[in-house]
Chain A
Amino acid sequence: MEARCRDLSLAYPGRNGSTVALRDVSFELAGHEFVALVGPSGCGKSTLLKLLARLLEPSTGALEVRLEPDPDRLPCALVFQDHCVFPWMSVLENVAFGLEFRRLPRAERHRQARAFIEQVGLGEFVDALPHELSVGMRQRVSLARAFVANPQILLMDEPFAALDALTKLVLQEELLRLWQRHRSLVVYVTHDLAEAVLLSDRVLVMSGRPGTIRMQVPIPLTRPRNLVDRGHAEVVEIERRLWAALEPEVRAGLGAAGGER
């Protein structure tokens, strides 16, 4: 599978004319890459994910997504930071919802969902409602729902940002394990530079609003990765380069009126 974005721009109509969220974004994704997307707040990272998911249409530019013709794989799944699992569905129903696209009988959906719930360690909680779970457990439900669909492209919007550092570490490992087994193309939005470096094959650095791709940094670290080793010289070196590109953008964003959106 591959995705090719050429000169993508997106403008939202607003009260005082339109706001340009993205301008001339160009990049390519291919194969089973794990790509991290970093950038200052409000630079349009989430918007870019929604474009890739075809939830939004670009104002100008071309977006080509070529997928394998496999009806058993979902074209594209999305995991958000929050408000992602349905609070009125049990863990089992939430995960089984990931198979909606296959129009399978209920029993079969539930059977497959159970297997993935086991994989993310929530076997005891199949019948629990999300509000009875911790935030970390809810994100596991969200991960299981995405992977049960075996998506060709998996888009993640700061999925673990609300978690404590230790839970985050466990879920990052689970994510990498699932990704390696299921071979999806992952685009992972984060604010955490070390996380971007440790998880991905390539980091895309975005500029402030209107967002555009400023820099692409390949991550030469071998896999499997040691996620605890944030202080490793190689990791720190790449982080420095990313920060050097990002810092002026972040400062400009802080200085500009409005700042955070």
Chain B
Amino acid sequence: MTPRRLRRLRWAAPLVALALLALWELAARRSWIPTLFYPAPTVILGAVAQLVASGELAQHLAATLGRMAAAFVWGGGSGLVLGLALGWWPSLRAVVDPFVSALHPVPRMALLPLVLLLFGISFFSKTLVVAIATFFPMVINTMSGVLQLDPNYHDVARLYRASRWRVFARVVLPGSLPMILTGARLALVRALGATIGLELITAESGLGSLLYFAWQTYRTEALFATVFVIAALGYGFRAVLDALATRLVPWQGDRRQR
């Protein structure tokens, strides 16, 4: 397909979404569907507006984002550092990589009871569970980022006798940046999922607790409203990371270089 036709199709997804929402609205107003379970989009929008106006949304959003941020810094940060180290030192990789591979498939939520038992329902225990969720995509992607670097680059760096530090800072780190960003993207999605799940269970604060109370009180419009907010949040993260990627790795996505 020509790029021009593809560009025109940019509008297709929003148009389809609008059409589906219009259909939903119509179905709800004409009572084709039970509005207790499927409130009309305008009603949901009203619920969102109410959440905003009451300050509830801001409060819970802040709680969720705060948890995510703390977990992302600790989990993603340590994943990044360990991933770089594993890629850089083969001997470390030989020892540590089997543990990473073995622990990776353990579902994060399966750890929750244990962590809550050990540390109680605290900021620390919640951060820990989410941090673990972000740690794995970060460590695995960062390590493969280092390992998939074209061997020619290593040969060039070696022949020009760059110091070990310069090879790391000027070749390995920027060269693995595209995969590091992929890791960050996955880690953010995981962090969002884990945080919401956690809040749904502990039901203290955050968007997950909002879901819990809406569920328990049969306020489906609030339920849908929260789901939409969470979806928008996920979309927002992606947009931010895409923007970051075009700034940090402008050479990626250009076909000529590969």
Contact = CB atoms under 8 A, between A and B. Distances in A.
Interface stretch (A1-9, A80-88, A241-249): A80-88
A141 to B, nearest CB: 12
A100 B160 contact: yes
Contacts of A83: 150, 152-153
B257 to A, nearest CB: 4
Contacts, number: 63
- Chain A interface: which size bin? 20 to 34
A100 B174 contact: no
A130 interface: yes
Interface of B: 150, 152-153, 155-163, 166, 170-171, 174-175, 177, 249-251, 254, 256-257
Contact of A130 (B161, B175, B251): B251
Contact of A80 (B152, B157, B251, B254): B152
Greatest chain A CB density within 10 A among B152, B160, B166 is at B160
A78 B156 contact: yes
Contact of A55 (B158, B161, B249, B257): B158
Contact of A84 (B156, B158, B162): B156
Contacts of A149: 160
Contacts of B158: 55
A131 interface: yes
Contacts of B175: 86, 88
B257 A87 contact: yes
Interface in A70-123: 74, 76-78, 80, 83-84, 86-89, 97-101
B170 A97 contact: yes
Interface of A: 50, 53, 55, 74, 76-78, 80, 83-84, 86-89, 97-101, 129-131, 135, 145, 149
Contacts of A80: 152
Given A86-B171, A88-B177, A129 B251 contact: yes
A74 B177 CA distance: 29
Q: Which 5 A-B pairs have the closest CB atoms?
A: A101-B161, A87-B251, A88-B174, A100-B162, A131-B254
A88 B159 contact: no
A50 B150 CA distance: 15
Contacts of B257: 87, 130-131
Contacts of B250: 129, 131
B160 A97 contact: yes
B161 A131 contact: no
A80 B251 CA distance: 19
Nearest to A56: B155
Nearest to A77: B159
B89 to A, nearest CB: 20
B251 A88 contact: yes
Contacts of B161: 74, 100-101
17 contacts: A50-B155, A55-B159, A78-B159, A83-B150, A83-B152, A84-B156, A88-B174, A88-B175, A89-B170, A89-B174, A97-B162, A97-B170, A98-B160, A100-B163, A129-B251, A130-B251, A131-B250
B251 A131 contact: yes
Contact of A74 (B155, B160, B256): B160
A86 B149 CA distance: 11
A216 B171 CA distance: 39
A131 B256 contact: yes
A78 B162 contact: no
